[in-house]
Amino acid sequence: PVIRREDYKAPDWLVPEIALDFRLDAERTEVTARLYVERNGDHDRPLVLDGEELDLLFASVDGDPVEVAPEGGRLILPLDGAKHVVETRVAIAPARNSQLMGLYASGGLLCTQCEAEGFRRITFFPDRPDILSRYAVRMEADKTLYPVLLSNGDPVANGEAGEGRHWAQWNDPFPKPCYLFALVAGDLACNADSFTTMSGREVRLGIWVREEDLPATRHAMAALRNSMAWDERVYGREYDLDVFNIVAVSDFNFGAMENKGLNIFNSRYILVDPDTATDLDYDAVEGVVAHEYFHNWSGNRVTCRDWFQLSLKEGLTVYRDQCFSADMGSEPVKRIEDVRLLRAGQFPEDAGPLAHPVRPESYMEISNFYTATVYNKGAEVIRMMAQILGPEGFRKGTDLYFARHDGQAVTCEDFVRAMEEGGGVDLTQFRLWYSQAGTPRVAATMIHDPEHRRVTLTLSQSIPDTPGQANKKPMVLPLRTALFDRQSGQRREERLLMLTGAEQSFTFEGMTSAPVLSINRGFSAPVIVDAPRTQDELAFLSAHDDDPFARYEAMQQLMVNALTEGVASGELETGAVIEAIRTSATDPSLDDAFVAEAIRLPSEAYIGDQMLVVDPQGIHDAREAMQQAIGAALEPLWRDLHQRTARPAFSLEAGDKGARKLRNVVLSYIAASGAEDAAALAFAQFDGAHNMTERQGALGVLANGMSAERERALAAFYDRYHGNALVLDKWFQTQALACHPDTVEIVRALGRHSDFTLTNPNRVRSLYGAFAANQWAFHSGGAGEGYRLLADLILALDPINPQTAARMVPPLGRWRRFDVERGGRMRAELERIVAQPKLSRDVMEQASKSLAD
């Protein structure tokens, strides 16, 4: 059953109010729901309530019991009048809910995840985001097992219920869609704080975790307070309830969830301390806490009319959290990281069988559309609008958007219209970014006319065909561009070129000599640029471009050119890359974090993305050889930097974070150099580290090799941390990511390790998600062992957790990118998957679309 965007119809019935009563128990919870329903418009259609795996105990309409049985899960109730009160009581089994959608048990807690369609697994309800209701929630539970009872909104009353039980009542004054409903019951401790909003409202903040995890919540609390202040300052958005609670749970399908006033988090995005978390983990906590908090306006106060509009809240909120993190740390480095993520996750999606527009046209299972396209490309679309409108115009646009649509469920079109009116621009053609899939390609050619001292830059664009979409229209591509004078190193004025036609020329006057082109600076448009520049010109830009992103980009392009040519010809040219790296690594004007980004070789997967047919072995060999050449040629520099970046103690200060980042890159070059003491040096960093960033960095370097130190370090790491699930994930992940000839065998064995479990999504992702991202290991093995391993995992996981299983399918769906033999084996595994009789809709959609031609 395919759901189509064009089929949207307003709901037949509204539910302005709902009262929920939970008798909580892990084995059997009873849920009584009283729905105050109102006919919407002039029609005689029945009330249809969604339901899934609900055991119906009782139903009544206006107090009169009715005999009704679910049909295909749904309850269909013919009603005469305009308003009725419908009551149902159901039983559910949280302890047996391994899908982690609806109400489920996690580590002694009871918690919920409703987005997108989990509320129907809790009670019968029209489960769609355009039904906004006021919620009154009463819950009752055993006092010892569940001393803390939380839900959305404000706590209004609580008391004893007898027989060792107690109850609490929470009311949420803001009408909300049911996907934002949440409930948590458990034995939790609270990191309590408060925040005074700009209008003087006092908000009680709470981060709820297991008692022993309390100290690890401090960073998340700081991030929350910073997010609240930032949203006031930058967007004029103030928090609106008296309490804001966050709960960390260890079994969670995604990162976190923005339930009104009660955000629920995957514990990996809350709990950090120096001994167990890397700087990347710290940054992720800050970013995700901000993301969920920002949803209070971009998502909750203004929500989505239907799930095709998902990017309305996700693209905007990702853009907001990206800007927040940039403000809290280094803007250039944050941009580089975000672009790297986009290229690693979204570009391949946009170039493969699962490509879809930012606003999809159809789906079988909406959970499959929480994608890099909807989130990250969606954020780029917002960023381009912000660029086009300028800071003041963009703020006027968002002010208008929030004022006009507060309390409504709206569409991407409503957002764009607010941008147009607020910013005073015409975005008619720009809207194609929402409807056309595929990464646009821009080709640039530059002609210098010395006589007229004029440069003509000709840009042309093409949008590739994607499943169901061919012959696309030219889009609006805002390209920040500058020309550099080769002799003086001077930059001419930067221009924002708007490429709107299939081909356009732009002229630059007063150019005595042929300049060097710096284009798509700051990655102002999420496109692929083919600009003919020599290695020499790229080296020049990597040393002189004043836009940090463009500088990084020039270095990446320089490396990619050398590596892809090396793969094609078998002759690797290393000189230019080594010199450019030397220049950056010794430039005193650059900070360590930026240098670490700039001097790192592109990933094997990214190199593969630049090739017509991915050659995993050739890429691996060339990259290893390049790494070795850089390591050996600059060995004294690396040793010097490794010493200079050592710190006596841990701090989160930007300079120290940058030093740690650089130190790990430097260590990998020393290891690659082949120096005899390299493994000992890595082990010393591993063993002596006072923080997880350096410890895991060293472990990763050792895991690639075949040294005795490798086994010692892995064993020591396991011994020290096996009691901490989040750190144990790193142990699995590091081995799955290793460039080690036996990685397939190692991953297979780890899948049978006593600490491995299919019921915890973090654990599954840290082993198999990492393995599938390890291009060389996943695609090595002539008989396709890696593919079979992943397909076996998908089939074993599907009956337990279809959402997480479906997320493992896309790596197999990339079969067209590989040679016939590999491609055939990947396809064979997909065919084996779709042939499985009881496949979930989630996996079926991903696997069958991956096979379709």
How far is it, in rounded angstroms, from Cα 415 to Cα 302?
A: 10
> Which lies closer to Zn ion via its Cβ, residue 257 or residue 622?
257
Backbone angles phi, psi at 679, to 5 degrees: -65, -35
* Contacts of 176 by beta carbon, 8 Å cutoff, 6+ apart: 132, 133, 135, 152, 260, 300, 303
Helices and strands (H, E) in the chain, number of each type: 29, 30
267's contact among ligand ARG, Zn ion, none, with CB below 5 to 8 A by partner kind, is none
> Which lies closer to ligand ARG via its Cβ, residue 250 or residue 734?
250
| Closest separation in Å from C-beta 303 to ligand ARG | 11
| Closest separation in Å from C-beta 470 to ligand ARG | 29
Q: Taking CB positions, which residue lies at the least distance from ligand ARG?
A: 370
> Which lies closer to ligand ARG via its Cβ, residue 97 or residue 704?
97
Helix (H) or strand (E) holding 152: none
| Closest separation in Å from C-beta 258 to ligand ARG | 5
| Closest separation in Å from C-beta 299 to ligand ARG | 7
Residues marked as catalytic = 292
116's contact among ligand ARG, Zn ion, none, with CB below 5 to 8 A by partner kind, is ligand ARG
Q: Count other Cβ atoms within 10 Å, centred on residue 839.
A: 21
Per-residue tokens: 595 = 């240098």
556's contact among ligand ARG, Zn ion, none, with CB below 5 to 8 A by partner kind, is none
How far is it, in rounded angstroms, from Cα 357 to Cα 161?
A: 52
* Contacts of 426 by beta carbon, 8 Å cutoff, 6+ apart: 420
Phi-psi region of 371 (alpha: psi -120 to 50; beta: other; left: phi over 0): beta
> Which lies closer to ligand ARG via its Cβ, residue 371 or residue 564?
371
Residue 521's closest CA among 332, 748, 736?
332
| Closest separation in Å from C-beta 367 to ligand ARG | 5
256's contact among ligand ARG, Zn ion, none, with CB below 5 to 8 A by partner kind, is ligand ARG
Binding span for Zn ion by CB under 5 A among 316-324, 430-438, 497-505, 666-674: 316-324
Residues in the site for ligand ARG, rule: CB under 6 A?
A: 115-116, 254, 256-258, 291-292, 314, 367, 370
- Residue 495's SS3 state is strand
Backbone angles phi, psi at 349, to 5 degrees: -60, -45
Sign of CA dihedral 193, 196, 197, 202: positive
How far is it, in rounded angstroms, from Cα 411 to Cα 109?
A: 36
Q: Are strands 133-142 and 13-23 parallel, antiparallel or unpaired?
A: parallel
Per-residue tokens: 283 = 């940054």
| Closest separation in Å from C-beta 541 to ligand ARG | 36
33's contact among Zn ion, ligand ARG, none, with CB below 5 to 8 A by partner kind, is none
> Which lies closer to Zn ion via its Cβ, residue 381 or residue 593?
381
How far is it, in rounded angstroms, from Cα 128 to Cα 113?
A: 15
Encoded one letter per residue, x for contact with Zn ion by CB under 5 A and - for no contact, window 128-147 reads: --------------------
Per-residue tokens: 381 = 């679309």
367's contact among Zn ion, ligand ARG, none, with CB below 5 to 8 A by partner kind, is ligand ARG
254's contact among Zn ion, ligand ARG, none, with CB below 5 to 8 A by partner kind, is ligand ARG
| Closest separation in Å from C-beta 314 to ligand ARG | 6
> Which lies closer to ligand ARG via its Cβ, residue 114 or residue 416?
114
Helix (H) or strand (E) holding 555: helix 548-569
> Which lies closer to ligand ARG via its Cβ, residue 292 or residue 414?
292
Residue 438's closest CA among 484, 394, 474?
474
Question: Which residues form the interface with Zn ion (CB under 5 A)?
Answer: 314, 317
